[in-house]
Amino acid sequence: MPVPVPVPVADFPASPDRPVPSPARPDCQFFLLPLRLTLPQQAQPPRPPIRLPAAAPPWPRLSPSRAPHMPHQAHDYLAIIEYKAGNQTSVRRALKHIGVNAVVTSDLVTLSKAAGIIFPGVGAAGQAMPVLRETGLGNIIKDLASRGRPLLGICLGCQIMLDHSDENDTETLGIFRGNNVRFDSGRLDEDGRPIRVPHIGWNTVRLSKETALWEGVGPDEQFYFVHSYTPVPEPEVVMGTTYHGGEFASVFGKEGTWALQFHPEKSGPPGLRLLANFYRYSVKAAEAD
């Protein structure tokens, strides 16, 4: 029987929508059997069972999720804000993957009963803000955040949590003071070459403040980024930075109100860990009310 040949591939159940890791990022080993020669029937040796290395998911498996469009009761689900800005379905699938009940909604009652709010998004601030104003969702988000409801902004949602965006010269929600600026294409990367704009791919986050959101996430974990504009919040709310021709704020906010420039739902196990931590924090906060 030929010896199994190790071939590098991922060792965890891929989250929905996670981009395929680069070959330069060796995750683990899977075992691929080479083709077996055809032998006469009577000469074939008994086929031993194939044993793959057992690996527990590197995020905590939570309670089984209920139907995402039917929250069971108040404070046992997360609400993903629907405002016609992209990746709500990707976030819901990632949450379902780890057993978190979630609903994509713009309904005030459903939002107000949720344990926590996720504010995702892709696209441009100039396209998203008119929808938030016309529907009243912008004021709802600000009100819930001001009353201590856990909030997680992702990518465009992260940027809209600041005062202003240079993208389309747009006034945004102002939950935190700051501006969003376009990457300077004159910046140089670590190899001395001009940086690529947009910033697309895997990168690390250097955490500068301890936070419950990062529990169980190592300092060398990589997250998936795709953006041309970057947040510039006030220094006192910066919680983590990433290097792309210079340091920029990739995590900011305060405990319970977080903004992430990267996509946790597309970042594999460390991103799923962040989402699980946000859910646990949200439920605990709701139970304490």
Enter the tokens of residue 101. 């009940």
Domain with 270 in it: 78-288
* pLDDT given for residue 17 in this prediction: 53
Can you give the CATH number for the domain in which 90 is found?
3.40.50.880
- Number of domains making up the chain: 1
Burial profile 5-23: b = 16 or more Cβ within 10 angstroms, e = fewer: eeeebeebeebebbeebee
Q: Is the bond leading into 120 cis (omega within 30 degrees of zero)?
A: no
* pLDDT given for residue 49 in this prediction: 44
Give the model confidence (pLDDT) of 72-110 as tens digits.
455 789 999 999 887 899 999 999 999 999 999 999 999
Residue 35 predicted with pLDDT over 80: no
Residue 67 lies in a domain: no
Q: Which residues contact 218 (CB under 8 A, 6 or more apart)?
A: 270
Instruction: Give the span between the Cα atoms of 257 and 43, in whole angstroms.
Output: 67
Place of tokens 């791919």: 201
Residue 20 lies in a domain: no
Give the model confidence (pLDDT) of 132-172 as tens digits.
999 999 999 999 999 999 999 999 999 999 999 999 999 99
Residue 72 lies in a domain: no
Residue 279 lies in a domain: yes
Instruction: Give the span between the Cα atoms of 222 and 121, in whole angstroms.
Output: 20
Residue 42 predicted with pLDDT over 70: no
Residue 112 predicted with pLDDT over 80: yes
| Model confidence pTM above 0.85 | no
Residue 208 lies in a domain: yes
Place of tokens 């040949």: 5
Catalytic residues, by residue number, are 155, 263, 265
* pLDDT given for residue 73 in this prediction: 56
* pLDDT given for residue 192 in this prediction: 86
Phi, psi of 207 (to 5 degrees): -75, 130
Residue 71 lies in a domain: no
Residue 94 lies in a domain: yes
- What's the whole-number mean pLDDT along residues 242-264? 97
Of the candidates 260, 192, 257, the one whose C-alpha atom is nearest the C-alpha of residue 225 is: 260
Residue 248 lies in a domain: yes
Least confident interval from 43-57, 120-134, 143-157, 189-203: 43-57
